[in-house]
Chains A and B, each alone.
Chain A
Amino acid sequence: QQQVKQSPQSLIVQKGGISIINCAYENTAFDYFPWYQQFPGKGPALLIAIRPDVSEKKEGRFTISFNKSAKQFSLHIMDSQPGDSATYFCAASKRRSGGGADGLTFGKGTHLIIQP
């Protein structure tokens, strides 16, 4: 059972264009939705994250849109640059009753290529 579904699996965007990656989740107990960026040979690094009490969060060229009723969230990369070429993962987690959080449940990743 895949609790976080991510699409597309791969994406090619021209430099300066908008990259859009979508995710859908099933578990309504999830309350934290981060996006991670991973370059080859490196560990994932947090790009931007959102909590379900807001519908949108923007940091620089990166925006998360969140639709709680539809259980969907998406990453938009504006003015995409060749340096943005990487694998992007959406994820979700929920709090634990004793404090802290469960580990992240990841989507399957999107391989993004920005063509110069």
Chain B
Amino acid sequence: DTAVSQTPKYLVTQMGNDKSIKCEQNLGHDTMYWYKQDSKKFLKIMFSYNNKELIINETVPNRFSPKSPDKAHLNLHINSLELGDSAVYFCASSPQGQANTEAFFGQGTRLTVV
């Protein structure tokens, strides 16, 4: 009964490949996010998506694209992978509501590009 689950947990791939990371939440939340944690552990938001609106961090390359088949899923597609894309990617979700509330994070996907 994991709240936010990501697959795979580890992903090793070659430069130039296209890959996807899947995320599912069973909390009934309206908003989902993708965060990137670099080698220095710095966490930075990449996208937020609330089933109606996609907010993209302007620093994210357009090789990255979120895709949401339904409210409970937000997958991350990455095209033409580069060495610098190596990082841990976290999916998260939170209720929309009127006030900010807790964001629940998945366990992360460690992506290694070789």
Which positions in A face B, CB cutoff 8 Å? 31-32, 34, 36, 38, 41-46, 49, 51, 87, 89, 93-95, 98-106, 108-109, 111
Contact = CB atoms under 8 A, between A and B. Distances in A.
Given A38-B41, A101-B94, 13 more contacts: A32-B99, A32-B100, A43-B92, A43-B105, A43-B107, A46-B104, A93-B100, A95-B98, A99-B96, A99-B97, A100-B31, A103-B48, A106-B43
B102 A106 contact: no
Contacts of B4: 43
B23 to A, nearest CB: 11
B97 A100 contact: yes
B32 to A, nearest CB: 10
A109 B100 contact: no
Given A99-B97, A100-B31, A109 B103 contact: no
A95 B100 contact: yes
Interface of B: 4, 30-31, 33, 35, 40-45, 47-48, 50, 53, 55, 57, 90, 92, 94, 96-108
A99 B41 contact: no
Nearest to B103: A104
Contacts, number: 77
Given A103-B45, A105-B45, A108-B42, A43 B97 contact: no
Given A32-B99, A46-B103, A95-B100, A104 B90 contact: no
A100 B43 contact: no
In order of increasing CB-CB distance, the 7 nearest A-B pairs are A32-B100, A43-B105, A103-B45, A100-B96, A101-B100, A106-B43, A46-B102
B2 to A, nearest CB: 11
Contacts of B107: 41-43
Contacts of A93: 100
A45 B108 CA distance: 12
A36 B35 CA distance: 14
5 contacts: A43-B90, A51-B99, A99-B97, A102-B55, A108-B40
Contacts of A108: 40-42
